[in-house]
Each structure stands twice: as C-alpha cells, then as structure tokens.
C-alpha cells in the first residue's frame, strides 16, 4: 500500500527592501534591482496574489520581531515557550516532511533537485519555528 503524502507546498521568497533614503518596501525580485538593500527574506506560499503574499510576510515578520516581555517589579512575566495552540498536528507533519526531505538528499537519484529539497526543507523549518514547534 502506497503512503499518501500531502501535496508539497511550493514556497516563494519575498524580499523586504530598504532604499537608500530609508523607505521599506516588499519585492518578489532581488532588492538590488530597485537600488535597495535586503532587510529580510521571507518564505511565503507560491501561487497566491502578491498582495496576499505580502500580508503573510508581514504577519511572519511581526511574529518574529514581537518584543519579549520584561520583568516587572512585582515578579517575572512568563514567556510562552510552547507551540502555538492547535498547531501540534501541523508541527508533526512538518517534522515528518523535514525527515523525508533529509532522506531524499542521500538517494542516488532523488525525485527533486538538491536545490528544491533544500528550499522545501528551509520553508518547513521556518514554518516550524514560526509555530514554536518542539
């Protein structure tokens, strides 16, 4: 019986660029095309409109750059270190996908190019990090 794998999610890269006057903007092409520096690169699902990809990228950046709680005079505020509630199944599926991609790298003739494997693994790892998977 063949194992049913979920369809692979294609990832695209969006660049958060900063031009020489300090203005930031999102681009699906390298920032140097627009005479700007790369501030951040974010993996987003491929095949959706650019505006939706920008929304996903903004949420991802907001999650990563959210300020950490600070200690108060009356005690220490706890930092949530566990996974995002309700994400356990996705975390498990992503870990399985990462393991599968790792095993593909060692095949004599992998079904994907090594670059594609690396990109998909990078996307899965970034998604696991954003969900704070264990």
Q: For residue 46, what pLDDT is reported? A: 85
Instruction: Judge whether residue 83 has pLDDT over 80.
Output: no
**What is the signed CA dihedral for 61, 75, 80, 130, rounded to 10 degrees?**
20
Average pLDDT in the 92-114 region? Answer: 85
Judged by average pLDDT, the poorest of 1-15, 17-31, 101-115 is: 1-15
Residue 36 burial class via C-beta count within 10 angstroms: exposed 0-12, middle 13-18, buried 19 and up: buried
> Which among 85, 89, 98 is positioned nearest to 125, based on CA atoms?
98
Residue 5 confidence class, pLDDT cut points 50, 70, 90:
low
Q: How far apart are CA 62 and CA 99, in angstroms?
A: 28
């Amino acid at each position: 019986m063949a194992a049913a794998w979920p369809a692979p999610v294609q990832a695209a890269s969006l660049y958060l660029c900063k031009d020489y006057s300090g203005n930031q903007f999102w681009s699906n092409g390298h920032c140097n095309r627009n005479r700007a520096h790369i501030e951040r690169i974010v993996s987003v699902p491929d095949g959706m409109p650019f505006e939706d990809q920008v929304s996903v990228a903004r949420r991802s950046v907001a999650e990563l750059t959210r300020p950490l709680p600070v200690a108060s005079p009356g005690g220490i505020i706890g930092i949530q270190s566990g996974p995002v509630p309700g994400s356990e199944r996705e975390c498990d599926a992503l870990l399985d996908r990462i393991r599968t991609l790792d095993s593909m790298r060692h095949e004599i003739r992998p079904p994907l190019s090594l670059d594609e494997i690396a990109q998909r693994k990078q996307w899965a790892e970034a998604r696991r990090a954003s969900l704070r998977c264990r």
